[in-house]
Structure 1
């Protein structure tokens, strides 16, 4: 795809917008509905490439998955314990979530599956999921470095385990819990640091029996999640809230484009995902939650974000699990703050769709920001609210096949003098189709 330039905003971001459905919840809704016996409906599903890869995989496992009228998805489950051998390799595209969670499903079914992905996903490590699933009895053969392509045969029956996460990871936790669904006995995951809990909330909604407790660990209280195996999942009608990771880009855009006053509707406010709101508020952002409510077991609110003078801050590393995907957007906010923003404890960002620390350091530097890259974070010296210069003529940000790098730097372009050019905007479609159109819409809306 040719380079794409995001020009400076010609007007403030105003009016009301709605972001696509939450990607994490969309993945899980398709998987769990595909394991239930009976018909589930899913409203508000994110129809990006990553989620569609999950839908295709569940069809390959024997579930009937189709898009109904007006965007509602209908799933007739294959039934837990009744998954079929896929006829061919499962192409996960760019979706690490699909890959790791579906590996959990395969691990406790006596089926064989091969996982493949695009160039970016094929560089991402899978050992962190392979290790506990192998302990449960799964036979896994990966490419050198523990990457895709990867072949596995599930164990039937699998062995329940008690597994302590060596690093915080909702994907690893979820993979083990999903393997535990079809495993006799109780499978437990111990979390020294709490991660997003969409899996636990939704599994209980589908009828799984979970036990969630706390116990004393070396570093304090640890969360213990146990799932009772050989579960019977019942169908459920799911309404997917707006994705806070998608809303993140508009929260930052409205904060840094002068005069902006933007309402973002129906945003999931799960406390394990709301770290960016806390971090931006610590920097002086003007973000108000209105109409708080619960949708499908998840807290939801509308957010009103107004332009504000941001100040640099030391971001608490403890916030990282609750905003790990939102750091690229936060780095952009920091580039426009008064003073210095320091982040640490972000080694996880080096093994995302790209090395997001290196990618964002290079991208922001190219656009004129002052950035120091450290092993576990970035130090960003802000402009004090002045526009960034933008990318030099003939130069383009290397998005590295990473949708969040592309979207973050698009937001930076709105508050630049000369615009920001991306080498490729195509990766945005993996998680947020219509992102560019929505950015333009927000700049053309009638003020609130």
Structure 2
């Protein structure tokens, strides 16, 4: 069934303080891995099966675009999907524009996919996505021979006219970005020769892991210049049965929530602990968080564990700069944790937050400030003065700016606020975590009278 985007009506939501968060929950499938599972299954020859797929709007946008390019994709149950791949080079000309909704991952990865196919695709998106920079992907794809015609500022809407055969390149990432790396590698799949990407700062490596699992020849070498990922083109991918682990970015909200609400004791099951995604865990532990790992295992080629988090006093820290690439999506949740710490937290080195679904630095500075948290904004992060574990004042209205992580982070902040916090629009949570508010209702206990 085609994915037809529907203009979303804002859904204001008022969130009051909670008593202790208790119970066991499982977070939805990893968003990054879900996108890649669909894309690589589409390029295999034969039927792949995916379990645990995140069924948020971002991932559904990727599925809809692949269907429009001739891939057979069917949902067979909750989180379970089959993909009948067309093989590398087998994508068909889409009949209409590909609507990426709010998903930067869909746009950037699929641009790379189209770049080495003999087809032309137009990419559109919502107002938030249409402001996000695409030059970082367009420039290397142009070097490979694709034509990319973008709106002013290299933004959406844009059109990619692929070249087949494309030209293999050796490219050094100017900005740490797993999306750019992955776009180039996906273009390299249908390109003769060896495509190389050098990343001076390591980023999440889901693409390299999954490409290898599907049978592509990928090598990773550590050099003085950084990690060099080399992919041999004109690959033949084999269909796979994939299990998607729980999303650490989704788990982040619960780790912070249980950490700041007194009396909380929460078990979050099946969280992916890929080393390139554990920066928030490291930062929270540096702040004194009580997070324990249990039942370590491997799911879909990725390390996974259950995380038990209990309330503990947090202390302000200077967040190590080297953690930024492994927690870039979790900074909004970290800023909330900092709001309840003893002392001041300085979190910098994250200028990339300016070009996410919203300007997350400005959005979180405004959201926290509107609810009584002292914040200093920097070009590349925030300094947050904590409440020493006391409830924050609250009572403000948050502009979520079409950004799912702003909405969910400030919902967490509301759980330990003196006055309820209002989200002007809670609906962006649907892009990555449709069950977020239902899960919150399940684990939150009634606030006890003072």
TM-score (norm 2): 0.96
Equivalent of 1:276 in 267, 276, 280:
280
Residues 112 and 151 in structure 1, CA contact (< 8 A), matched pair in contact too:
yes
Aligned to 1:286: 290
**Pair 1:208 & 2:222 matched:** no
Aligned to 1:411: 412
**Pair 1:398 & 2:399 matched:** yes
CA shift, 1:71, in A, is: 3.4
Secondary structure at the aligned position of 1:106 is classed as helix
Q: Residues 407-446 of structure 1: matches in 2 within 5 Å?
A: 407-444=408-445
Structure 1: how far apart are the matches of 2:293 and 2:94?
44
Runs of 4 or more off by more than 2 Å in structure 1?
Answer: none
Aligned to 1:161: 169
Residues 49 and 81 in structure 2, CA contact (< 8 A), matched pair in contact too:
yes
Equivalent of 2:183 in 144, 164, 175:
175
**Pair 1:57 & 2:65 matched:** yes
**Pair 1:343 & 2:352 matched:** no
Structure 2: how far apart are the matches of 1:420 and 1:368?
11
Structure 2: how far apart are the matches of 1:3 and 1:435?
15
Aligned to 1:358: 362
Q: Residues 315-330 of structure 1: matches in 2 within 5 Å?
A: 315-330=319-334
Equivalent of 1:223 in 212, 227, 244:
227
Aligned to 2:5: none
Aligned to 2:6: none
Secondary structure at the aligned position of 1:38 is classed as strand
Q: Residues 122-133 of structure 1: matches in 2 within 5 Å?
A: 122-133=130-141
**Pair 1:45 & 2:40 matched:** no
CA shift, 1:283, in A, is: 0.2
Structure 1: how far apart are the matches of 2:74 and 2:128?
28
Secondary structure at the aligned position of 1:152 is classed as strand
Secondary structure at the aligned position of 1:47 is classed as coil
CA shift, 1:38, in A, is: 0.3
Equivalent of 1:28 in 36, 60, 72:
36
Equivalent of 1:6 in 15, 27, 35:
15
Structure 1: how far apart are the matches of 2:394 and 2:97?
43
Structure 1: how far apart are the matches of 2:79 and 2:380?
41
Residues 395 and 418 in structure 2, CA contact (< 8 A), matched pair in contact too:
no
CA shift, 1:69, in A, is: 3.1
Secondary structure at the aligned position of 2:393 is classed as coil
Structure 2: how far apart are the matches of 1:327 and 1:69?
33
Aligned to 1:259: 263
Aligned to 1:94: 102
Residues 61 and 78 in structure 1, CA contact (< 8 A), matched pair in contact too:
no
CA shift, 1:78, in A, is: 1.4
Secondary structure at the aligned position of 1:300 is classed as strand
Structure 2: how far apart are the matches of 1:346 and 1:110?
37
Structure 2: how far apart are the matches of 1:390 and 1:344?
25
Secondary structure at the aligned position of 1:77 is classed as strand
Aligned length: 437
Structure 1: how far apart are the matches of 2:332 and 2:395?
17
Give structure 1 stretches of 5+ with no counterpart: none
Structure 2: how far apart are the matches of 1:3 and 1:438?
18
CA shift, 1:355, in A, is: 0.3
Structure 1: how far apart are the matches of 2:96 and 2:384?
46
Equivalent of 1:380 in 372, 381, 384:
384
Structure 2: how far apart are the matches of 1:71 and 1:106?
26
Structure 2: how far apart are the matches of 1:154 and 1:115?
13
Residues 252 and 329 in structure 1, CA contact (< 8 A), matched pair in contact too:
yes
CA shift, 1:15, in A, is: 1.1
Structure 2: how far apart are the matches of 1:301 and 1:167?
30
Structure 2: how far apart are the matches of 1:381 and 1:31?
43
Residues 185 and 229 in structure 1, CA contact (< 8 A), matched pair in contact too:
yes
CA shift, 1:400, in A, is: 0.5
**Pair 1:367 & 2:362 matched:** no
Give structure 2 stretches of 5+ with no counterpart: 1-9
Secondary structure at the aligned position of 2:254 is classed as helix
Map Cα deviations across residues 18-72 of structure 1 (whole Å, 9 max, x no partner): 0100000000000000010000000000000000000001111111001003431
Structure 2: how far apart are the matches of 1:2 and 1:349?
25
Aligned to 1:134: 142
Residues 391 and 397 in structure 1, CA contact (< 8 A), matched pair in contact too:
no
Residues 11 and 427 in structure 2, CA contact (< 8 A), matched pair in contact too:
no
Structure 2: how far apart are the matches of 1:280 and 1:299?
20
